């Protein structure tokens, strides 16, 4: 039997992250997948067990349970002149669903979405599914993946309906400065353009915490969740926070996509915002700082190649352009039993780079980089 997909998805394929994982031989070290290896904080696990044993597990309101929405609104209101209300929150099954529902609620055929280059792998396919044209503004590799204001301004047209920003960035781990955020807000002031601000990595930073566009531009819709800051990837809990009229429509779409997020996860997630939960995030951030040092020191020692470590998230962009295309190098490294993600999958600016993750055991980081060093020609013979 031949299945013919709808036109909107017939050109959509698996992400590069998953394709490389599927090709990897047994015993490979996965430097590609962005999934933290930290245990879920005990306070969250204990609450999940209590909920299962003591509470009725049924449907929740489409937008989420009130106690969780209250915590999320307060979390994103820190530092803002005007606080978010719970009505500004829709809880969903992970930040991925939130991105999908926000983009599908705003974009339609003929609209333009302005996306960063490089960017997270989901943005472009979702915009395509929505029928929108994709345009890009550059995060210049030649300047350490710095935001390019001229490129951003050139990408805006009278058809721009949605701008996407991601700070800290996946894949580059770089953050937008507060001056950059003010520039974006100033350029969009008075327009009907909405901004999807993907802040899933905002609690993982090295130095000053990145700012939020929500403090400068009122048509900002924040997407975030607990997959990273609580290491709760498999629990599938994320959200969108923004203007109430936008969230109301996004909630309608969410209702027809998945009704509601898991009741167990929602109730357990309230504990993530407790003092104990917040201390767990701080401990993860500090450990990631140590692992960042492990990876960069190993690259300096074993490879001697240029790289961008960024100031947040948990990725290093390794420059392998002297060896061929990023995809060719990623495939070559599979023979060395190392999984990486080719930078070209994220956009033209990241071609020639590999995205390497350091969100797991330092010994595996060391061994993975050592295997890369053995697989690529010696730095002394370049």
CB 51 within 8 A of CB 57: yes
Give the full edge-to-edge strand order of the sheet including 146-147. 89-92, 238-241, 220-225, 194-198, 160-166, 112-117, 133-140, 146-147
For the four alpha carbons of 87, 93, 96 and 97, in that order, the dihedral sign comes to: negative
- Would you call 267 exposed, middle or buried from its count of C-beta atoms within 10 A (0-12, 13-18, 19+)? buried
At residue 382 the predicted structure's pLDDT band, cuts being 50, 70 and 90, is very low
Digit-coded pLDDT (tens) for 239-296:
999 999 999 999 999 999 999 999 999 999 999 999 999 999 999 999 999 999 999 9
So where are the chain's domains?
16-40+277-381, 42-273
Q: Could you tell me which CATH number the domain at 16-40+277-381 has?
A: 3.90.1150.10
Nearest to 165 by CA among 112, 84, 225, 223: 223
Tell me, what's the pLDDT at 16?
67
User: Strand, coil or helix: what is 4?
Assistant: coil
1 pLDDT above the threshold of 80? no
Mean pLDDT (the chain, rounded): 95
**Separation between Cα atoms, residue 267 and residue 42, nearest integer Å:** 14
Tokens of 129: 């599914």
**Separation between Cα atoms, residue 86 and residue 244, nearest integer Å:** 9
**Neighbour tally for 65: CB within 10 Å:** 18
CB 224 within 8 A of CB 200: yes
Which residue matches tokens 């969780």?
Answer: 68
Q: Which CATH number fits domain 42-273: 3.40.50.12780, 2.40.50.140, 3.40.640.10, 2.102.10.10?
A: 3.40.640.10
The predicted model gives 365-378 an average pLDDT of 92
Digit-coded pLDDT (tens) for 176-215:
999 999 999 999 999 999 999 999 999 999 999 999 999 9
Matching fold, domains 16-40+277-381 and 42-273: no
CB 137 within 8 A of CB 114: yes
- For residue 260, give every residue at least 6 positions away whose Cβ sits within 8 Å of its Cβ, in sequence order, or none: 59, 60, 61, 62, 64, 91, 266
The DSSP-derived string for 166-211 is ESS-TTT-----HHHHHHHHHHHTTS--EEEEE-TTTT-BSSSPPP
More confident of the two residues 364 and 26: 364
């Amino acid at each position: 039997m031949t299945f013919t997909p709808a036109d909107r998805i017939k050109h959509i394929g698996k992400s590069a992250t998953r394709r490389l994982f599927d090709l990897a031989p047994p015993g490979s070290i996965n430097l590609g997948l962005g999934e933290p290896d930290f245990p879920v904080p005990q306070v969250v696990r204990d609450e999940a067990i209590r909920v299962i044993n003591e509470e009725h597990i049924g449907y929740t309101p489409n937008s989420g349970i009130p106690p969780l929405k209250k915590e999320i609104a307060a979390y994103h209101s820190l530092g803002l002149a005007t606080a978010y209300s719970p009505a500004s929150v829709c809880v969903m099954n992970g930040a991925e669903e939130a991105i999908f529902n926000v983009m599908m609620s705003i974009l339609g055929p003929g609209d333009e979405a302005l996306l960063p280059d490089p960017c997270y792998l989901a943005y472009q396919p979702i915009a395509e599914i929505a029928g929108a044209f994709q345009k890009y503004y550059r995060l210049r590799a030649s300047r350490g993946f710095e935001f390019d204001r001229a490129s951003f301004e050139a990408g805006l047209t009278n058809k721009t309906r949605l701008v996407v920003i991601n700070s800290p960035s996946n894949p580059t781990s770089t953050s937008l400065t507060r001056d950059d955020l003010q520039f974006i807000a100033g350029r969009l002031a008075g327009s009907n353009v909405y901004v999807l601000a993907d802040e899933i990595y905002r609690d993982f930073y090295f130095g000053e915490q990145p700012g939020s566009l929500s403090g400068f531009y009122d048509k900002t819709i924040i997407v975030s969740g607990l997959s990273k800051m609580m290491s709760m990837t498999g629990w599938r809990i994320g959200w969108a926070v923004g203007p109430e009229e936008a969230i109301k429509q996004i909630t309608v779409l969410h209702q027809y996509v998945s009704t509601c997020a898991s009741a167990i996860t929602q109730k357990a997630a309230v504990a993530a915002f407790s003092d104990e939960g917040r201390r767990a995030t701080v401990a993860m951030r500090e450990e990631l700082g140590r692992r960042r040092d492990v990876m960069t020191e190993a690259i300096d020692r074993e490879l001697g190649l240029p790289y961008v470590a960024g100031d947040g998230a948990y990725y290093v962009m390794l420059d392998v352009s002297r060896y061929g295309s990023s995809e060719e190098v990623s495939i070559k490294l599979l023979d060395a039993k190392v999984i990486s993600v080719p930078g070209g999958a994220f956009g033209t600016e990241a071609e020639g780079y590999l995205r390497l993750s350091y969100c797991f055991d330092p010994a595996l980081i060391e061994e993975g980089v050592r295997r890369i060093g053995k697989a690529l020609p010696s730095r002394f013979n370049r």
